Amino acid sequence: MSGSQANLLSLDTTYPAVAESVGQARRAVATLARLEGAGEQDLERVKLAVSEAVSNAIIHAYAFEAAREVVLSAAVIDGELTVVVADDGCGFGSAGESQGLGLGLAVMTQLCDSLTMSKRASGGTQLEMRFHLTPAAYLLTERAPQRLHVGGSA
């Protein structure tokens, strides 16, 4: 990275594979984006996409096995938020018949500027979502803190 690395806001954490983790992850990433000055429209699409991604990991990869963990990383670099949600579950398409409506990936594709799904070398699935953030008008003159650590277990 360039010399702007000192101003990098980032999040690296894990959450247990339980329903409560969806809201915690959503709030953590929204806080990161808000501190970087994201506008309300961006915050809404980020929150929904993160909720879908974490829900997919909990439901499809682990079938709510609370002892398992969902890995969440996020960073804002040059106005672009990158969010990675990963699990070490059974892998995409391996969990048998889905109990959902099957719209999660389609919704995430519409919300993100870029969505990449890949198989992890260690097993499981990784989703990388990118969002080009539009600054909120009232935050244009404020500067976010230099470093942020939000929620979850490190």
Class of domain 10-139: alpha beta
pLDDT at 7: 59
pLDDT at 8: 76
* Residue 84 reports pLDDT greater than 80: yes
Domain ranges of the chain: 10-139
Share of the chain above pLDDT 90, in %: 56
Give me the helix-helix angle, 40-56 and 20-35, nearest 10°. 150
- Between these two residues, 67 and 34, which has the higher pLDDT value? 34
pTM: 0.78
Percent of the chain with pLDDT over 70: 75
- With residues binned 3-state (H G I as helix, E B as strand, rest as coil), the percentages for the chain, rounded to 5, are 35, 25, 40
Indicate if the pLDDT at residue 141 is higher than 60. Answer: no
